[in-house]
Amino acid sequence: MAKQGMLIVLSGPSGVGKGTVRKEIFDSDDNDFQYSVSMTTRKMRPGEVDGKDYYFVSKDEFEDEIKSGGMLEYAKYVDNYYGTPLKYIKQSLAAGKDVFLEIEVNGAMQVREKMPDGVFIFLTPPDLMELKHRIIGRGTDDMAVINKRMAKAVGEIKMMRNYDYAVVNDEVPLAAERIKAIIRSERYSVKRVMPEYEEMLGDAES
């Protein structure tokens, strides 16, 4: 039996810098996992490549995937669907490749339901005030909007309880290093290596 790959899910509140940290991890030399390309119904933007930035599909195609159970997770924002197709992930894991997902918290919880063996990492702002500064720093919202976002952030941070790890994004390279240490160490977790050792014991006793 070939060794199964490991599913790594990076999530966290909006504005925390998930995409930047993910990019830092993928730009480093020692990354050796597959990035899962999302599927969307929104229009392709100039410079984007189908199958690289997103799989671009029609609304009908996306809804067919949902109905047939082909989406690991999905959500609708402003009339467009965004989601993770299950097919490519299963193929990669079966081929022994680790797969890296960077998704919103609601999506992460859908993944946890379907693939509880994944490693679930929550990226957190250094503290709530820091998150507040970042949102204000965008400079486009009034206080009502900010307060609404804050309440949402508090709720999302409470979601941290559903994750395996919480990594503070105080500095992007540090956050990336922490996540890489988590991924490395998860490879040594007994629940992941035990099947191999049980095989070894079987050989020794026969």
The minimum distance between CB 185 and its own copies, in angstroms, equals: 4
The minimum distance between CB 120 and its own copies, in angstroms, equals: 9
The minimum distance between CB 199 and its own copies, in angstroms, equals: 11
Among 34, 38, 124, 169, binds its own copies (CB under 8 A): 124
Nearer to its own copies, 18 or 38 (CB): 18
Measured between alpha carbons, how far is 156 from 146 in angstroms, rounded to an integer?
Answer: 15
Q: Does 43 contact its own copies by CB under 8 A?
A: no
Among 62, 157, 169, 176, binds its own copies (CB under 8 A): 157
What lies within 8 Å, CB to CB, of 65 at 6+ separation is 39, 57, 71, 83, 85
What lies within 8 Å, CB to CB, of 40 at 6+ separation is 54, 55, 56, 57, 62, 80, 81, 82, 83
Strand 165-168 with 119-124, pairing: parallel
Region of 42 please: left (phi>0), alpha (psi -120 to 50) or beta. Answer: beta
Binding-site residues for ATP sit at 12-19
Nearer to its own copies, 67 or 191 (CB): 191
Q: Which helix (H) or strand (E) holds 13?
A: none
Q: Does 185 contact its own copies by CB under 8 A?
A: yes
Q: Within its chain, how far is the Cα of 192 from the centroid?
A: 20
Which residues of the shown chain bind its own copies in the complex (CB under 8 A)?
A: 122, 124, 127-129, 154, 157-158, 160-161, 163-167, 178, 181-182, 184-186, 188-190, 193-194, 197, 200-201, 203-205
